[in-house]
A and B are shown apart, each in its own frame.
Chain A
Amino acid sequence: MFAYTIKRLLTLIPTLLAASVLVFLFVHLIPGDPASILLGDTATPEEVAALTKELGLDKPLIVQYFYWLIQVVQGDFGRSLFFGAPVLSVIANGAQTSILLALMTMVWIVIFGIPIGVLSASYQGRWVDQLTSGGAMLFASVPTFWLGLYLILIFAVWLGWLPSSGFPAIDGVGALGHLRYLLLPSLTLAAPNAALIIRLVRASMLDVSREDHVRTARAKGLHPSRVAIKHIFRNALIAVAAAFGFTFAALVSEAVVTETVFSLPGIGQLVVQSILRRDYPVIQGVILVIVVLYAVVNLLVDLAYARLDPRVSLQ
Chain B
Amino acid sequence: MTSHNWLRSLVAVGALVAFSGTAYAAGTLRYATVGEPPSLDQQVITSDLSTTIAHHIFEGLYTFNAKNEPVPLLASGETVSDDGKTIVIALREGVKFHNGEDMTAADVVASLKRWGEFGSRGNLLFDHVESVEATGDHEVTLKLTNPFGPWKNLMAFINGGPSIYPASVVEGATKEPIGQDGYIGTGPYKFSAWEPNRKIELVRFEDYTSPEGEADGYGGERTAEFDTLDFMPVPDVGARIAGVRAGDYDYAESIPGDLYEELKNDETVTTILNGGPIFGLVFMNSSEGPLKENFALRRAIQTALDKTTALQVAIGPEDLWRANGSFLPDGNVWYNDAGTENFSKGDAEAAKTMAQEAGYSGEPIKFMVSTNYPFHYDTAIVYTKQLANAGFNIDLQVYDWATLIEKRAQPDQWDLFFTHHGFVPDPILISVMNDTYPGWWATPEKTELKDKFTASSDPAEREKIWGEIQTLIYEQVPTMKTGDIYTYNIASSKLQGLGEATLIWPSFWNVSKE
Contacts and interface: CB of A to CB of B under 8 A. Distances in A.
Interface in A1-58: 30-33, 36-48, 50-51, 54-55
B13 A270 contact: no
Contact of A90 (B23, B196, B232, B235): B196
A3 B30 CA distance: 51
A56 B252 CA distance: 37
A90 to B, nearest CB: 4
Interface size class of A (residues with CB under 8 A): 35 or more
Contact of B1 (A43, A45, A85, A158): A158
A176 interface: yes
Given A83-B36, A93-B197, 16 more contacts: A31-B399, A32-B405, A33-B402, A37-B405, A38-B39, A41-B405, A45-B409, A45-B436, A83-B196, A94-B197, A156-B242, A158-B1, A162-B13, A164-B239, A261-B238, A270-B197
A107 interface: yes
Contacts of A153: 242
A263 B32 CA distance: 10
A209 interface: no
A158 B247 CA distance: 11
Nearest to B242: A164
A2 to B, nearest CB: 35
Contacts of B249: 166
B45 interface: yes
Nearest to B198: A265
Contacts of B160: 40, 42
A263 B235 contact: yes
A261 to B, nearest CB: 6
A104 B16 CA distance: 9
Given A32-B406, A162-B13, A177-B23, A152 B175 contact: no
A299 interface: no
A160 B431 contact: no
B17 A180 contact: yes
B11 A161 contact: yes
Nearest to A186: B16
Interface of B: 1-3, 7-8, 11-14, 16-17, 19-21, 23-24, 32, 35-36, 38-39, 44-47, 120-121, 160, 174-177, 179-180, 194-199, 232-236, 238-240, 242-243, 245-249, 372, 399-407, 409, 419, 431, 434, 436-437
A169 B199 CA distance: 10
Nearest to A267: B197
B39 A84 contact: yes
A138 interface: no
Nearest to A92: B196
Interface stretch (A59-67, A118-126, A273-281): A273-281
A115 interface: no
Contact of A157 (B39, B174, B245): B245
Given A93-B197, A177-B23, A166 B234 contact: yes
A93 B404 CA distance: 30
Contact of B47 (A40, A48, A160): A40
Contacts, number: 206
Contacts of B431: 41-42
A42 B120 contact: yes
A257 to B, nearest CB: 10
B104 to A, nearest CB: 28
B419 A164 contact: no
A90 B196 CA distance: 6
Contact of A40 (B38, B233, B434): B38
A78 interface: no
A265 B196 contact: yes
B13 A39 contact: no
A138 B467 CA distance: 64
Given A160-B2, A162-B14, A261 B239 contact: yes
Contacts of A178: 23
Contacts of A85: 180, 194, 196
Interface string A255-299: 000001111010001100100111000000000000000000000
A265 B236 CA distance: 12
Contacts of B35: 273
A299 B245 CA distance: 45
Nearest to A165: B239
Given A85-B196, A156-B242, A263-B235, A163 B16 contact: no
